[in-house]
Structure 1
Amino acid sequence: MHAAGAGAATTVELVLPADCPVGVLLPSIVDLVVGGPGAPAAPHRWYLSRLGGGSLDTSTTLRANAVHDGDVIVLAAVGLPAPHRVPPEPCRVVAQTGRQADPAVAPWAGCAVGIAVALVGATTLVWSARATAGPGPLWTATVLSAGAAAAAVAHRAAQPLSVALRVSAVVFAAATGLLAAPGASEDVGVLLGASAAFVVAVAMLRADTDGAAVALLSALASMAGTIAAVAAVGAAMPVPPGTAGAALTVLSLAALSAAPRLAVAAAGLGPSRGVVGITRATAAHRLLTGVTAGLSCAAVLGAVAAVIAGEVSGVRAAAFAADVGLLLLLRRRGHADAARGWALGLAGLVGMAAGLIAITKTVPAQSFWVCAAAVVGCGVALHWPETTASDIPLVRRGVQVAEYVSLAAVVPLAVWVTGLFGVVRDLSLP
């Protein structure tokens, strides 16, 4: 028996019963080998290991551990790692290192590919329905949505596959709604598609408590709900696309301000509940992450629609999109969760990019300083987390005021984009 510790190494020959469990023998072995006047005062967790590494199983006997007469056993306070073969050839080392991939990346990469295939398939079905007449695309989307939903609920699949199935069910449900009324207007089709996606997302959300699924499904449900609300108004009365986009942005930002309260209410938190467990708090965070991401996407989608519609001058659309993007970027500082920060940041960058493109197309002669300002702004934004400027009270107050100003400017800019100011001016009221 060889004992290796902080002091000098000790080697003792012991005669031990082969049919006694190692855990029963271990206290006596420690007393015989390292006991005495120089024994450590603090308690230790001792391990018996082979000379080449690999700890002995304390629940079995020495015979079961394949310990024979004359074997050298190491007694140490730290377990020795099990031996493993190291390839000496450099080419084999490089080849094996290339095969050591993160096991958690491949399933989620397959999930992303599956969702992308569902999006492409739903888009193809909608396009084919407009190109050719017939109920084939409608029934195909219906069967795919129902099949994905049934497979996700009935089959307890792995987490990435379950997420892909649930999201695919929502995507094909939206395609089914779009194709349900072939002779109706686009507003009616959008209303049916968004409503179908909202219903299926909520149903899938109630049938699953997984983290990634809750975040994605709540994002889809919140985004589809706001789109359905705006499309309902468009189905009732003629609304231009730019006006609908501005209304979608205003509604999404209003709902985004109330997202924390909605998440608290949906998760069952609040003053009435004295004790809140980790599971319920985690569910509230996941729900808030999904709602924030979905409403951010809906807000920037409305701003981009107002820019693409081209119903008003590019300056108005650019100002509106840039203000929405700036507001979403400034909202990042109010969320400690990294996923919510990324969602708001990416949506804000898309809004700022839409405003930049609109102003560049409108006044190309002045695009040089606009591009320079955008590059400088991006550089400052990238450097901001590495500085301590956010700890300065004056700077922090300035950022807060800028957020309030951009929020207050959303409604006037939306009214400006929709042309209501011109309508009121043309009324020539006394």
Structure 2
Amino acid sequence: MWPPAAWAARRERSGRRAGAQVPCRNRRTSALCGSIQQREISVPTHPLYASYVAVVTNTVRRVAVHLPRQRLSADLVLPAQCPVAQLLPALVDGVVGDRASVAEAVRWYLAPVAGLPLDPTKSLHDNGVRDGDLMLLTDEPAPPPRVTTGAPTDAVIAAIRPPAPRAGGWEAAIATTVLLALASTLCWVGCTSGDEPALWVSAAIALSAAVAAVAGWVTAPLSDALSVGAVGHTAVTGALAAAGFSWPVVVAVAAAAALAMAVRLAMALGRSGIAAVSATTGCAAAAGAIMLAAIIGALCSGDVATIGALLTGTSLAALTGAASLAVTLAGIGPARRAVGPRRAQAAHRLLTGLTGGWCGTAMVGVALVAAQGRYQVLTGIFAIAVGTALILRQRVHLDPIRRRVLIGAGLAALGIALFVAVTASPTTAPWWCCGVAVAGATLIHLQDRQWNPVMRSVIRGIEYIATAAVLPLAAWLAGVYDAVGLP
């Protein structure tokens, strides 16, 4: 305890005479850490112990709170060490009162006249609020609820966007057509006449196109076109190099050469970012499926229908794992917590290329089976199953390019089934055409309809049945059942 003289000296240094009337607010608290009703009273200070009031006044802040929107104001005494977040409910009740009940939730915050809103986790003292400050109590609408899981799928879904129009599309189409036409001509000349220059010319064109595609000398569409042309000429080079062997071996060697070139171009273009990797990825996927089917056909001495059935079955089996393969190649698996937009877009391009390549090989396989014409009824059922599976699979894709590719391949397979049915029984051709027209009109009418959960389950069941029926039918057409002695 200080002596009275010391207390008096402190009082004199504070600038307030002994026995002065110190204004103090007597308050009744109606909410947590907030005062609603106040009244001014005067407390006579003791000449010796007057410093107690100076200590108490440092724990509160006398501020004027103004609500601009509703033109309401209130003079309040608030605790200086209480977080602003705990003061806000009492401030709203004290300043707004019954008017605070609104139809929608709002967020309240306290801010000075000029400056940023106060940090709700800090107290008035920590926010730098002093006695006599004018504070603004303002509200804003609450943000809509949004679920954030933090999973890599959020970035992948956000990266889906409609394809932007690309300049130079006509030049790319012309370049692709010319390069593929040259490849076809060189392949025909080399296979029929056996001229060796066709092999070297095709190899030179493949090398030149690959260098121009990865060097960055041309635009992105032309780079894609040159990449496709390089893969095509590489396949022709491999086929001419294996001339003299059986045709499944020739196809396997050509597909292996095309696969190597496509993978190398995809890696180079993906690393440099010159062009999208969808075209080269599609070529690699198609070449891999063709190579596998040709190798199995060469080992089993299969015919065209056998290799076609193997090609279609392999393609549909690969389509089921295309998403997992794209995720693995893009490196956006569960081990990576943060996925950037560039990596997510790379995964979409990889998936688009894989889907396009395997859809094309599935359609080619159905065409090869139909060209053999061994079992017409079985071939028609096989084509219908493949087309149904491809068309219904587009439901699980959000990218418009992949949806169009799947629908186009499915319609092509159904068209092959119609051709087989018409050639098997020409008298029923009008009825088949009428049925196709009715089915097409029905699909156009129902394309934008939102199905209920029951119908979605039915459609999903039809897709599963069609997909499950492809492999047994392919094995039947490939002669597997005859080889093992099944009836």
Check conservation: 2:258, 2:284, Cα contact below 8 A. yes
1:346 aligned to 2:408?
A: yes
Letter in 1 for 2:470: V
Cα distance, 1:415 vs. partner?
A: 2.4
Cα distance, 1:105 vs. partner?
A: 6.2
1:119 aligned to 2:180?
A: yes
1:172 aligned to 2:233?
A: yes
Superposed counterparts of 1:305-384, under 5 Å:
305-310=368-373, 312-384=374-446
Check conservation: 1:219, 1:295, Cα contact below 8 A. yes
Cα distance, 1:153 vs. partner?
A: 2.2
Check conservation: 1:317, 1:358, Cα contact below 8 A. yes
Check conservation: 1:211, 1:283, Cα contact below 8 A. no
Distance 1:250 1:425 in 2: 21
Letter in 1 for 2:363: V
1:9 corresponds in structure 2 to none
Distance 1:364 1:154 in 2: 55
Check conservation: 1:211, 1:286, Cα contact below 8 A. no
Superposed counterparts of 1:25-424, under 5 Å:
107-209=168-270, 210=273, 213-310=276-373, 312-388=374-450, 390=451, 392-424=452-484
Extract unaligned runs of 5+ from structure 2.
1-163
Cα distance, 1:239 vs. partner?
A: 0.8
Distance 2:172 2:457 in 1: 42
Distance 2:329 2:486 in 1: 46
Distance 1:268 1:335 in 2: 20
Cα distance, 1:306 vs. partner?
A: 0.5
Letter in 2 for 1:366: T
Distance 2:200 2:444 in 1: 48
1:32-81 CA-to-partner distances (Å, cap 9, x unmatched) read xxxxxxxxxxxxxxxxxxxxxxxxxxxxxxxxxxxxxxxxxxxxxxxxxx
Change (3 A) 1:212 1:387: farther
Letter in 2 for 1:335: H
The alignment of Structure 1 onto Structure 2 pairs a total of residues equal to: 322
Letter in 1 for 2:447: P
1:156-194 CA-to-partner distances (Å, cap 9, x unmatched) read 421122112211111110111111122111111111111
Distance 1:122 1:129 in 2: 10
Cα distance, 1:405 vs. partner?
A: 0.8
Distance 2:276 2:231 in 1: 12
Change (3 A) 1:219 1:157: same
1:135-166 CA-to-partner distances (Å, cap 9, x unmatched) read 01100100000111112223442112211221
Cα distance, 1:375 vs. partner?
A: 1.5
2:124 corresponds in structure 1 to none
Change (3 A) 1:426 1:343: closer
Cα distance, 1:380 vs. partner?
A: 2.0
Letter in 2 for 1:214: V
More displaced stretch, 245-254 vs 207-216: 207-216
1:401-425 CA-to-partner distances (Å, cap 9, x unmatched) read 1101101111221123234445555
Cα distance, 1:235 vs. partner?
A: 2.6
1:219-252 CA-to-partner distances (Å, cap 9, x unmatched) read 1100100100111122333111101111111111
Letter in 2 for 1:205: A
Superposed counterparts of 1:6-17, under 5 Å:
none
Check conservation: 1:327, 1:407, Cα contact below 8 A. yes
Letter in 2 for 1:200: M
Check conservation: 2:311, 2:362, Cα contact below 8 A. yes
Distance 2:241 2:370 in 1: 29
More displaced stretch, 227-236 vs 402-411: 227-236
Letter in 1 for 2:442: V
1:269-298 CA-to-partner distances (Å, cap 9, x unmatched) read 111101111110110011001101111111
Distance 2:331 2:307 in 1: 34
Extract unaligned runs of 5+ from structure 1.
1-102
RMSD value over aligned CA atoms?
1.8
- Larger C-alpha radius of gyration, 1 or 2? 2
- Any idea what SS the aligned residue of 2:351 has? helix
The structure with more helix, counted as a fraction of residues? 1
User: Percent same amino acid among aligned pairs?
Assistant: 38
Distance 1:359 1:341 in 2: 27
The structure with more strand, counted as a fraction of residues? 2
Distance 2:202 2:274 in 1: 27
Check conservation: 2:286, 2:358, Cα contact below 8 A. yes
Check conservation: 2:370, 2:420, Cα contact below 8 A. yes
Cα distance, 1:199 vs. partner?
A: 0.5
